[in-house]
């Protein structure tokens, strides 16, 4: 069974640029959630995708957008990067929408915005 | 939305001591309360969870208690070991959303 994998692991961007982060969910999981974790903070919910549809969104501006593909992998896109977007971006997969249960996290993508 | 407060932010203990981390939540409709452990350079990993119809749950050296009336829950680790050193996060789902809101984390340091 393959776990959640994220790419890239680290990247550096400058203000105003755009970034795409990728996530492959754990085998058999159809729900993907994205979290932003600033240094020394807990993960903050960005949004969740279930069967290619957005299913819940946290308090993040529209320049944070996402996609889920038929194989349940997912992308997080951030436009017009700001310095405060520097953080660890975590992807988590789970078994089913509407079924509160364990989130399986990847190791994250560390984004630095200069 | 849900608001989860977690204390303390840092906890330092000697090997073999017990450690207790406390959390409060705001949404009385919350019914799922997981605890995650995050080691350096890794993503969080679930270590134990509890649902609102249960007051206490144990798994070897780890236990979680829930007081729904007071809206607080706690993680108890007994006989701590150096490998327990990590950041621990509590979380609570907002009733109906099934999406957990995380606390700010507790950095647990176990000294050999």
pLDDT in tens, chain A (114 residues): 569 999 999 999 999 999 999 999 988 888 999 999 999 999 999 999 988 999 889 999 999 999 999 988 999 999 999 999 999 999 999 986 555 578 999 999 999 999
SS3 for B86?
A: strand
- State the pairing for strand pair B100-102/B45-51: unpaired
Confidence (pLDDT) at B94:
81
Q: Which residue among A41, A56, A105 places its CB closest to the CB of B97?
A: A56
Alpha carbon dihedral A14, A16, A18, A23, in 10-degree steps, equals: 70
Query: Nearest by CB to B105, which of A42, A48, A102?
Result: A42
The pLDDT mean for chain B works out to: 94
- Res A2: pLDDT: 67
B44 contacts chain A (CB < 8 A): yes
- Kindly give the pairing relationship between strand B72-77 and strand B62-67: antiparallel
CB-based contact B104 A90, cutoff 8 Å: no
pLDDT at site B53? 86
CB contact under 8 A, A48 and B44: no
Report pLDDT for A102: 86
The answer to whether the Cβ–Cβ distance between A42 and B6 falls below 8 Å is yes
Strand residues in A3-73 grouped as ranges (E): 5-7, 10-13, 19-24, 31-37, 44-50, 53-57, 64-68
* Per-residue pLDDT at B25 exceeds 90: yes
The reply to whether omega before A58 is within 30° of 0 (cis) is no
**Gap between the Cα atoms of A91 and A95, Å rounded:** 14
**Residue A99, pLDDT score:** 58
Asked if the Cβ–Cβ distance from A42 to B102 is below 8 Å, we say yes
CA distance B74 to B90: 8
Can you give the pLDDT at residue A37? 97
Residues of chain B with Cβ-Cβ distance to A98 below 8 Å are 98
Cβ pair B102:A107 closer than 8 A: no
What does the pLDDT read at residue A100?
A: 58
Nearest chain A residue (CA) to B39: A107
- For residue A106, give both structure tokens: 């990847």
For residue B98, pLDDT beyond 80: no
Sheet containing B62-67, strands listed edge to edge, beginning at the edge strand earlier in sequence? B4-7, B19-25, B72-77, B62-67, B56-59
A48 neighbors A96 (Cβ within 8 angstroms): no
Nearest residue on chain A to B92, alpha-carbon basis: A100
Nearest to A100 among B32, B41, B101 (CB): B32
Q: How far apart are CA A66 and CA A91, in angstroms?
A: 12
B84 touching A, CB under 8 A? Answer: no
CB-CB neighbours of A46 under 10 Å? 22
Q: What is the mean pLDDT of residues B80-93?
A: 97
> What was the pLDDT predicted at A97?
55
């Amino acid at each position: 069974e393959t776990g959640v994998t994220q790419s890239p692991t680290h990247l550096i961007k400058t203000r105003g640029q755009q970034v795409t982060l990728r996530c492959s969910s754990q085998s058999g999981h159809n729900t993907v959630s994205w979290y932003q974790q600033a240094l020394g903070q807990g993960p903050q919910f960005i949004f969740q995708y279930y069967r290619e549809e957005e299913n819940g969104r946290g308090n993040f501006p529209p320049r944070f957008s996402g996609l889920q593909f038929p194989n349940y992998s997912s992308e997080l896109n951030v436009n017009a990067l700001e310095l405060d977007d520097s953080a660890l971006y975590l992807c988590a997969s789970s078994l089913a929408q509407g079924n509160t249960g364990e989130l399986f996290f990847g190791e994250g993508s560390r984004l630095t915005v200069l | 939305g849900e608001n989860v407060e977690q204390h303390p932010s840092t906890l330092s203990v000697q090997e073999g001591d017990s450690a207790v981390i406390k959390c409060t939540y705001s949404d009385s409709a919350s019914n799922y309360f997981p605890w995650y452990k995050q080691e350096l350079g890794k993503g969080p990993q679930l270590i134990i969870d509890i649902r609102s119809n249960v007051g206490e749950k144990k798994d070897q050296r780890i236990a979680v208690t829930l007081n729904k009336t007071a809206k607080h829950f706690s993680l108890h680790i007994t006989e701590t070991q150096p490998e327990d050193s990590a950041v621990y996060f509590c979380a609570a789902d907002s009733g109906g959303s099934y999406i957990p809101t995380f606390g700010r984390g507790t950095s647990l340091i176990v000294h050999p």
